[in-house]
A and B are shown apart, each in its own frame.
Chain A
């Protein structure tokens, strides 16, 4: 099996070639504004003279790309499409309309017409009200007349029963040929506003997602690679590009996730803490069974509350580019960021950065060491101690267990991680740590997840049913059914609901199947 993993970051595009579970070649190139050029260049460098089985690049089995493109679009408020919103659930939830509590600037770009219609379900699957199909049709005609290209549909309790959203989608397709649709049940979890927010963000990103995926595919073609294309997801798994481009919000956090997955693979560890020290920030996460532990609560993206699969990460304002100040001593959160190669002292600049301190302390051999020879030894010692204390606190906060755990250090600034930390059994360094994210993309598997309320079933039976549903979903996303295994099971009894109501979340993961 020969795979290519690519991580398209804001600054660099990293690519690795993996063969039989081994990193054969790795490259780092600057990201280009058009994306395609950067990826084409990275793939060109990667495949140049690489020993690809069969002798031609066409023997690559799969290409996995991870990108922060979609999150950046939301955060920077660019490349977003106005979206019409259809809420199904009247007379329930009438007072809080779609887009409520969105930041004004983002709402001004994305918020289109809002339609509130009767329909939806109860927690136990009974209809709340019959779906107002005439209303849906009228809304669809209005949407077509107004020229919207993308619609988000959210119905009350649709994760339990998606039929209202499905019926609305049928009508919308009839009335508005070619319309882009996002249905909230595709995004899982209970919590109407948060699920609807994710749906509307997704709808606003569909156009960009399509263009980006096409650009990725063009880059592959230009490089002579004929392998199927996958996009990496927030949970560290991949989905076929043509499926993934319909759910761009599922790629929001693929950057840090891929780093953690790469760290797991490169170290051979499945349960460990991971510290990824970048230029401006350090991400601390926790690997469980080889996957990042997920955040269980509301995650804000660009100021919008959402609730879906995201890794549980702690971001610290510490990186290789963090500014260091004496009297009073301060390290970060301000950073020179991507301008490190011109601004840091060791590179001839005027700013004192964490990198300069690391070079002065002999932890790192970079740039011109003589330029930091004059730093007072006490400042170096104190600044390092401060950084270690920040990392210590961060690591301790992400630990979920009193037992000592190994810690994998990755990222360009991983020399800042001390060799000994309280609660850490050992600090593991890995080869190719600077491209761990691209490695994480290359090794990704396919997943399926279900989060539902079951009633009148025993706990075992409810979990078994959830598992079957998750497996079906994974198979649709490109998994080989024979390789599927459960990676996470969580069950939460629900207060004040009769009939042993149990909310069950099951996630399964398997290898990519033959396409």
Chain B
């Protein structure tokens, strides 16, 4: 078995860029987590990345994620000590030591959460996640698709508050119980989800997504350095598809049941002049229509990037007049299975559409 490989400071920077793209409009900006990682690396911390295939079947892996409202996260800034505490609480509760730490979600700020914990707890990060992108709900994971147990869960607040959800009857119940606790402590908390064995991670995780995000970030950085089109570079490297290029004509947002939902309308530019694109989002981009006909749906990754700078654009920062390119990147195969589509297909987001991949 290969030892975990050290991750350089430059790779952490690339990871933040790649993770933001894989956030498909949601997942929260990795900026503050990146600042934390820079500080930790300056203080001498080094995190290493473990290939999930090198996990022993009975190794135990901590699955971490930040929970709460992105706006609160702008005031109560993410802190490595809190996420480390959620992991330690879980170890105390189950009475076993974790071999390594992984994220539930590679898209957005959560990609860096296991790194923050790993830097303090001196454990490697597993090169994997359970979404391969970002999704708004807890049951939208490969672990849920594989019907793995969703409890226990530990939740740590920055004060001396800690909650353990020992059991939950379903993913929905787990979401309700943990969400309630999260709101009480100020709508921001670090969580450690149900521990996973090495065997479960290998069989039910989405593998090598951390290194994929690092590579994606490096692709964008290299293109920028060479004054090449970063979007072109992303499409090439990830075998993605350019769905539309245009400018945002209108954005409508609303929150329902705690999610940022809305639509954005685009007018075509360049080869798409005269055509229109419509995007619907629920935290992340969920469906896209070209000239009124469905063109792309979740779980295919729908990424919106600034046409000029190549920066990924989040659903919260969509704005009139932005020049954007809409890209599709392939989704992890597990999400495309009939069971996967039940959890993360268009119907799971309330769209009466059949999933049809753009990569057929």
Residues of A at the B interface (CB closer than 8 Å) are 89, 91-96, 100-101, 122-124, 126, 128-129, 156-157, 190-193, 296-297, 396-402, 453, 492-498, 500-501, 503
Contact = CB atoms under 8 A, between A and B. Distances in A.
A303 to B, nearest CB: 15
B260 to A, nearest CB: 4
Contacts of A192: 74-77
Contacts, number: 111
B225 interface: no
A217 B36 CA distance: 46
A101 B13 CA distance: 14
B186 interface: yes
A190 B75 contact: yes
B175 to A, nearest CB: 12
B189 to A, nearest CB: 11
B258 interface: yes
A92 B76 contact: yes
Contacts of B81: 94-95
A495 B159 contact: no
Interface stretch (B14-22, B64-72, B107-115, B288-296): B64-72
B255 A494 contact: yes
Given A453-B71, A497-B187, A91 B258 contact: no
A91 B158 contact: yes
Given A92-B76, A94-B81, A402-B267, A495 B260 contact: yes
B323 A495 contact: no
A236 B158 CA distance: 41
B253 A95 contact: no
A96 B68 contact: no
A495 B321 contact: no
Given A95-B39, A398-B321, A497-B258, A128 B186 contact: yes
Contacts of B247: 396-397
A400 B250 CA distance: 8
A157 B72 CA distance: 9
A96 B159 contact: no
Given A95-B77, A100-B39, A492-B253, 15 more contacts: A93-B76, A93-B77, A93-B79, A95-B78, A96-B32, A124-B186, A128-B76, A156-B75, A191-B74, A401-B320, A402-B267, A453-B71, A495-B71, A496-B70, A497-B69
A492 B283 CA distance: 13
B258 A498 contact: yes
A193 B29 CA distance: 14
Contacts of A190: 71, 74-75
A77 B85 CA distance: 41
Nearest to B71: A494
Nearest to B267: A402
Contact of B75 (A93, A95, A397): A93
Given A297-B317, A495-B258, A495-B260, A193 B70 contact: no
A501 B255 CA distance: 9
A93 B259 CA distance: 25
